[in-house]
Chain A
Amino acid sequence: ETGVTQTPRHLVMGMTNKKSLKCEQHLGHNAMYWYKQSAKKPLELMFVYNFKEQTENNSVPSRFSPECPNSSHLFLHLHTLQPEDSALYLCASSQGLAANNEQFFGPGTRLTVL
């Protein structure tokens, strides 16, 4: 595997379900990100991790819970979501948190909440 991978690619869940999204980067990067992309809206940065430590939480509801066990893996745990949470969830990584680092994105998980 190369680059940034995400599983599953598609997920349909009910509002009472608990599910997790997984992201893995094979680039040796130290920073990882979760973004939400809704139709016709800008990418919204949700969480940022650097060397496994969370550095940013952009007022994300607690029904989204991130976990970063090491610099290569990032999870997003989902619990009691709402239909408006349906979106494409993208994971990205970068060498570090310097603002001139390019970000490498995974293919995303298309989430539908019924």
Chain B
Amino acid sequence: SQKIEQNSEALNIQEGKTATLTCNYTNYSPAYLQWYRQDPGRGPVFLLLIRENEKEKRKERLKVTFDTTLKQSLFHITASQPADSATYLCALAPWSSASKIIFGSGTRLSIRP
């Protein structure tokens, strides 16, 4: 069956360092991979989308890579800040439709001052 694994349930790092979150998948050939941020008591907020034929995407302090051979995406936050503390979700979707989207269970990131 299709499966997404996000590297760890929780990640704690020092402010100013680069946070790296991992999303691995099996039995799936996604066309698109998305990253969302979710704060406690709120719905997820879209951050970035990367296509299967793209290796890397950047947005301000965020960088996403997508390796379809390794079946893995890495999500980086550079110069991390306490305000970046949240749960980050990866999601995969095929070419056909967003109604086939599947989400990972998320990684809770904590940035300590």
Contact = CB atoms under 8 A, between A and B. Distances in A.
Contacts of A110: 41
A51 B100 CA distance: 17
A45 B99 CA distance: 8
A21 interface: no
Contacts of A106: 43
B28 to A, nearest CB: 13
B43 A98 contact: no
Contacts of A107: 41-43
Interface size class of A (residues with CB under 8 A): 20 to 34
Contacts of B41: 107-108, 110
A99 B32 contact: yes
B93 to A, nearest CB: 4
Given A103-B46, A107-B41, A97 B99 contact: yes
A74 interface: no
A50 B97 CA distance: 11
A55 B42 contact: no
Contacts of B104: 42
A42 B98 contact: no
B74 to A, nearest CB: 19
Interface in B55-110: 89, 91, 93-106
Contacts of A55: 97, 99
Contacts of B94: 99
Interface in B1-59: 4, 9, 31-32, 34, 41-46, 49, 51
Interface of A: 4, 31, 33, 40-43, 45, 48, 50, 55-56, 90, 92, 94, 97-108, 110
27 contacts: A4-B43, A33-B99, A42-B89, A42-B103, A42-B104, A42-B105, A42-B106, A43-B91, A45-B102, A48-B98, A50-B99, A55-B99, A56-B99, A56-B100, A97-B97, A98-B97, A99-B31, A99-B32, A99-B94, A99-B95, A100-B32, A100-B49, A100-B51, A101-B98, A105-B43, A107-B42, A110-B41
